[in-house]
Chain A
Amino acid sequence: MALEGTAPLMNVAKRPARAKWRRIFRSKTALVGLFLVSFWVVLAVLAPILPLQSPTKPDVMAMANPFPSAAHWLGVDILGRDILARLIFGARTVLLVAPLSVAVAMTVGISMGMVAGYYGGQVDAVISRFSDIILAFPVLVLYVVLIANIGPSVINIVIATTIASAPGIGRITRGLVLGLKQQEYVAAARLRAESTLYIMLVELLPNCRGMLIVDGCLRIGYTIITIGILGFLGLGLPPPNPDWGGMVKESTTVLNVWPFMSVEPSIAIVSLVLGFNLLADGLREAWKP
């Protein structure tokens, strides 16, 4: 009998892993999202080598007429600092803190969800109950209570994000794992004496990847909003670090005379959040089974 599969399967790309990512390029939504996100990422990465003005140095001369000009493309803020530079340097902070927070939260959440979903029973009950309690807390309250009490800093924002989001991520992971652990390949792994940790990390985790990446994108977007809100509440990163939420707060006072000062950082936040949201949406669409 001839061996099966000698004829190449024509319709399937050679490298499915890459094909999965390539599918993003077919989704317009994902592309727009990717563009917005990479726009900011590129600017943030290149910030030190871009011919930007100092994001913290006031330009007293420009304050007489802070509106966008040839010298300051997006104008200067109420302290005479170049808004463009502040936005771009602010992107560095946001693009560091938000993904970092989400990454930590994901690590904790995924671990919780994996353990709860895989072991089930009492372990699941304890973890789920704990998650329920955290989730019953309104998220923003959680942030405010935490940050107001432990003070604003990158670490603390990471901690707060982790506490606030890990249960949600855990719940998603748990749901995925509950389904996946019934899969026969998991049984097969058990039958070849694989350790539980191995099963979780090698057999289960990669198959949660898609959903978790999508969820992660949404969460990064949401965390950016939260960081903005914290900045707006005066609980954001300490100045003079350009903090987008803080920039809006600083300039709401001059909204009616210099609206661009608050509108520009608002647009920056909206565009970046929108980027992540679109990316998540596009990925979900592209990876839909």
Chain B
Amino acid sequence: MEEYPHPKIPALVDDFKSEKLGRREFLRFATLLGLSASAAYSIAGIAMPMGAKADDMPKGGNLRIGMRCMEIKDPHLADFAERSNVIRQVCEYLTFTDRNNITHPYLLEKWEASDDLKTWILHVRKDVKWHKGKPLTADDVVWNLKRVCDPAIGSSMLGLFTGYLVEEYDTGEKDSAGNAKKSSRLWSDKAIEKVDDYTVRLNCSSPQIAVPEHLFHYPMFILDPEEKGSFGPGANGTGPFEMTEFTVGKNAKYKARTDYWGTGPYLDTFEFVDLGDNPGAGIAAVASKQVDGLSEADAVQINSMKNFPHVAVYKVETTQTIVARMHPDNDLFKDKRVRQAMRFAIDREKVIQTSLLGAGTPAEDHHVAPSHPEYAALPKYPRDIEKAKKLLADAGFPDGFETDMVTRPDPIWELNTAQVLAEQFKDIGVKVNIKSLPSAQYWEVWTKAPFSLTAWGHRPLAVMTLSLAYRSNAAWNESNYSNPEFDKLLTEAEGILDPKQRSVVMAKIEGIMQDDGPIVQPFWRIFSTVIDKKVKGFELHPSQYIFAHQYAIVQA
């Protein structure tokens, strides 16, 4: 018997061997519990997918990737993959979840979880040096972890940590509507604790298995405490590149570090080029080789570029999705039959074919993807106009109704989806007027509009999204959904490690979402992009993450 880093691992191995646990889930859980990826793979009996060997990688060259260069205020506030990509080349995470959902140590050497999953010991790598010379220490890590838990900073990490590191409390003040103002704080002074110069301990209030995954959430960069959360050219970081130039709306340029602790970088320089909002510009830039690739290309763009001889198309299934969410507290949608009718109105395949040109897989209105480890399969239901109409009639809308649906004009697939959905809702007598607002305005109302279309990014765990978006009063609960039973089940599921047990709970949660939930969720997106064939080492990450130190250019 091997020495496992966590006492629960043998049970996992058993379950896997007895086929109670799928390979994916086994790999994920085992690595989360601290088993090394190579060990986990060998137990799973498959070869670990290997990146290209460092020695094979050609050196030098400049790589240019087309991507929006948005303004960056504070890396811990990074809220879009594009923003975090700009930072990611300079600053790094403690962990790294790969495209197969397997979490690896990154700035950590390893981690250890207690049996009850309440105590996590993080071992910081000792060979990591900040670009400006000093070594990375546990103090740096503690500062960063504590910082994201400060509500005044406003990092979205706060939401993820809530429930096990962070608690909500009543400030005693009332807001203008008379509701109690709530704020957040670490549940205990010792929640984040420095053990020694290279060891940090997290003391959680409740069991949490996904801690290593959370540490890879995109704002969770490890910053130099001396820079107080600022970022720009020359910013200190542990990463493979040094940023030399950054102009919002134009570009971000990087120079390779020669003393990087890890493998790579192979490139001399790296560059993000802002091509603006016009998707045609991206294609044109690729066509005329002004950029070597794009950070993302939607299905329509791919369709245009797949015939370019010099580029390769990369695809990855993601849990990126879009939901047409209804406010159950709105008069139109308060009857759950209306919400159900809306779900029955949708022909998912058709939506995928039209708005994504086929680049998607059908979703089941509960925001849990088949690729999520927690997924529990429920019976599928097809489009059923008659049933939908009947439900509407029962709910008091025999002739349907008319409503606005708020959406964004960009990216175009969102708008296209809105149009296709609206067209399908029409068939059950619901006239949907699309209200497309410029992004800035959209984000102003995205939680307030009674009916709105919202894209949700990729997350490795379904419970992450569910707790962010559908738990009562959750920070990003745009649908104002509040269901005590759901909340209870969700908390329960988060604590259950045993997959069998958990899938029972998940099935209930999914059922609630399908029956009572606030969303119509047509599909999961297949995420894709194009990169010049001369680029080696490129892997498409479902979170749209770019790790430029892995890439190299094969000189012609």
Q: Name A78-128 residues within 8 Å CB distance of B.
A: 78-80
Chain B, interface SS category: helix
B243 contacts A by Cβ under 8 Å: no
B280's partner among A56, A57, A152, A252 (CB-CB below 8 A) is A252
Q: Is the CB of B357 within 8 A of A253?
A: no
Binary contact track B354-365/A, C-beta < 8 Å → 1, others 0: 110100000000
Q: Which of A148, A234, A253 has the most CB of B within 10 A?
A: A253
Q: Which residues of B contact A78 (CB under 8 A)?
A: 300, 357, 416
One of A10-18, A34-42, A254-262, A275-283 contacting the partner: A254-262
Q: Could you count the A-B residue pairs with CB atoms below 8 Å apart for me: how many are there?
A: 78
| Given A79-B420, A256-B287; A58-B350 close (CB under 8 Å) | yes
From A151, A152, A240, residue with most partner B Cβ within 10 Å: A240
Chain A nearest CB from B165 CB (Å) reads 40
Contact B415 A252, beta carbon cutoff 8 Å: no
B354 and A58 contacting across the interface, CB-CB below 8 Å: yes
A252→B436 contact, CB < 8 A? no
Q: How far is the CA of A58 from the CA of B427 in the complex (A)?
A: 13
Give which listed residue, A60, A152, A238, contacts B350 with CB less than 8 A: A60
Shortest C-beta distance, A191 to chain B (Å), equals: 57
Chain A residues whose CB sits within 8 angstroms of the CB of B279 once the complex forms: 252-253
Closest Cβ of chain B: how far from A261's Cβ, in Å?
A: 10
Cα distance A145–B423 when bound, in Å? 31
User: Is A286 close to B, CB under 8 A?
Assistant: no
- Interface-central residue, B301, B350, B353, by most chain A CB under 10 Å: B353
Contact between chains at A151 and B437 (CB < 8 Å): yes
List of A residues within 8 angstroms of B278 by Cβ: 249, 252
A239:B283 contact, CB within 8 angstroms: no
A235 at the interface (CB under 8 A from B): yes
- A43 an interface residue at 8 Å Cβ cutoff? no
Query: With an 8 A cutoff between CB atoms, is B501 at the interface?
Result: no
User: How long is the Cα–Cα vector from A238 to B441 in the complex, in angstroms?
Assistant: 14
Number of interface residues of A (CB under 8 A): 24
Which of chain B's residues has its CB closest to A64's CB?
Answer: B353
Q: Let me know if A63 is at the binding interface, CB within 8 A.
A: yes
> Which residues of the other chain, A, contact B437 by a CB distance below 8 angstroms?
151
Interfacial residues of chain B within 402-428, with CB under 8 A of chain A in the complex: 409-410, 412, 415-416, 418-420, 422-423, 426
Q: Given B303, B434, B438, which contacts A254 in the complex, CB threshold below 8 Å?
A: B303
Given A56-B423, A240-B422, verify A255-B353 contact (CB < 8 Å): no
A44 to B136, CA, bound (A): 69
From B301, B307, B434, B436, A253 is in contact (CB under 8 Å) with B301
Cα of A238 to Cα of B422 in the assembled complex, Å: 12
The answer to whether B409 and A79 touch across the interface, beta carbons within 8 angstroms, is: no
Cα of A156 to Cα of B56 in the assembled complex, Å: 60
Chain A nearest Cβ from B489, distance in angstroms: 37
Chain B residue numbers with a CB within 8 Å of A79 are 354-355, 416, 419-420
* Interface membership of chain B positions 437-459, coded 1 if the CB is closer than 8 angstroms to chain A and 0 otherwise: 11001000000000000000000
Q: How far is the CA of A270 from the CA of B420 in the complex (A)?
A: 28
Interface of B with A (CB < 8 Å)? 277-280, 283, 287, 298, 300-301, 303-305, 307, 350, 353-355, 357, 409-410, 412, 415-416, 418-420, 422-423, 426, 433-438, 441
Closest 4 CB pairs of A and B: A252-B280, A234-B409, A240-B419, A253-B279
Residues of A within 8 A of B (CB): 56-58, 60, 63, 78-80, 148, 151-152, 234-235, 238-240, 249-250, 252-257
Beyond A56-B422, A255-B283, 9 extra complex contacts between A and B, CB < 8 Å: A80-B353, A152-B436, A235-B409, A239-B415, A239-B418, A240-B423, A253-B298, A256-B283, A256-B287
Q: Can you list 15 A-B pairs with a CB-CB distance of less than 8 A?
A: A58-B420, A234-B409, A235-B409, A235-B438, A238-B435, A240-B423, A240-B434, A249-B412, A250-B415, A252-B279, A253-B279, A253-B280, A253-B283, A256-B283, A256-B304
